[in-house]
Amino acid sequence: MAERGRCPQCGSAALLEDAHYAQQQLVCGACGCVLSEGLLTTTYSDEGQLREVAYSQSTGQKERLKRCEQRGIRRVQDLCKVLRLPSVFEGTAVSYFQRALQHSSFHLGSLEKKELLVGCCVLATCRQHNWPLTLGTICSLLYAKQELVTSVYLSLQKELGISVPALSLSDLVKTHLNSFRLFQPTEDIPVTFVEDKEALLARTLQVVELASETWLVTGRHPVPIITAAAFLSWQSLQPAARLSCTFPQFCRAAGIDLPPPARLRLKELCDILLRMAAELAWLRVLHLDKKTVVKHIGDLLRHRVFLLKNAFCEAEGDEQPGAAQGEDPSGDPPRAVLDEGKQKAESSRRALLPPCLLHPRKRLRTTALSASDAALTGDEPISDAEIEQYLRDPEEIREFRKAKVWQ
């Protein structure tokens, strides 16, 4: 019989108690010999009397029920480490995950939905702390489709009542440019393609603000606009060496995808720049096109407010009657001091409207009103049976009943 407190195999006194699921074990720390194993008991009163219990009532079953939660917590922690998030973010994301699992929509959901829930909890935490993390980054890390992640993300906000602010456009620009490979020289990138990160970020933010002021951002996906703005900004910083580079070549060098609408956003930005360049006297004589206007983006952005005000009118009805015929609004003959270039610029001014209104894809078809609808003026009396459809407040219902009694 072995001496008490020592291992029978090696004689070491380094004995450790190891809890493996529901079984308590006494193990030697020197050789690993298992000295004794505990009985499968439960946390109920049977534990004190060492009675045999069913596994469904034991602590092992409870441990199995929590295994999914423990795995999800580890996944949240690993995802926070991959994204290099602050430690306070990790605690918030873990609490969101534990709260979400208490709801039946997530607790009884599929394993795939729980995997997506991990990324959605991290995304919601980052948005609340104004940390620039996009939905596309979560989708790429989880190898999931954007539609599925979006549905789980919206369901998470609804079930937990989380208020998540929207990510600003400037934060999206910073996040998108962080993925570019143009800030350090490599074998695949020419030296002339390498650009300072801060300089490119500052110029791209200015171009994106210009696009926002000219209705190019409203109702559009931001990534194609940011990609087109980054391309123009990158070319304008060193136009002599980069004007020959095409849009697809730039995307390949930067290591990003070329979104299909990005070409249209690039064309719209160039049209805005050309209209602004027509208002500068020293650029009007150069006959700029969509390529050469890139050289002067710095000057155009510097005088952005003045050029936009002169290049576009505020509304379609701003032009005075008789302006097209060259007449003065007061009735006097046109001034001879206006040169021909200025007259052409004024005649080419258009309203600053969204592209969907300037170039509509489909015309709205208006149907003719019927005779009964055309006869309605809005002053017709409302019957007692019909007025009940408009009563919503209980106080209004009581007042209506009182009025009927006095009639």
Structure tokens at 309: 């005000």
Rg of the chain, C-alpha, whole Å = 35
- Mind listing the pLDDT tens digit for each residue in 75-120? 999 999 998 888 889 999 999 999 998 888 887 778 888 889 999 9
Q: What is the structure's pLDDT at 200? A: 94
In sequence order, which residues have a C-beta less than 8 Å from that of residue 301 and are 6 or more positions away?
203, 206, 207, 210
Do β-strands 15-20 and 312-313 pair in parallel, antiparallel, or remain unpaired? unpaired
Q: Which amino acid is at 117?
A: L
Q: What's the CA gap between 144 and 166, in Å, rounded?
A: 22
- DSSP single-letter state for residue 215: T
Which domains does the chain possess?
1-38 (no CATH), 66-166 (1.10.472.10), 170-314 (no CATH)
In which residue ranges of the chain is pLDDT below 70?
1-4, 18-25, 35-66, 167, 313-350, 361-369, 374, 384-393, 407
Alpha-carbon distance of 184 to 194, in angstroms, equals: 6
pLDDT of residue 208: 94
DSSP assignment letter at 318: G
Alpha-carbon distance of 72 to 101, in angstroms, equals: 10
Question: What is the Cα–Cα distance from 67 to 70, expressed in whole angstroms?
Answer: 5
pLDDT at residue 39 in the model: 45
Q: What is the pLDDT of residues 312-333, one digit of tens each?
A: 865 444 444 343 444 444 444 4
CB 207 within 8 A of CB 247: no
Cα atoms in the 13 Å half-sphere on the side-chain side of 57: 11
Query: Helix or strand or coil: residue 356?
Result: helix
170 exposure class (CB count in 10 Å sphere: 0-12, 13-18, 19+): middle
- Across the chain, which distance is largest between two alpha carbons, in Å? 124
Nearest to 323 by CA among 297, 348, 358, 357: 348
Q: What is the pLDDT of residue 24?
A: 62
Phi, psi of 23 (to 5 degrees): -100, 130
Q: How many residues does the chain have?
A: 407
With contact defined as beta carbons under 8 Å apart, do 194 and 242 qualify?
A: no
Q: What is the C-alpha separation between 285 and 388, in angstroms, rounded? A: 70
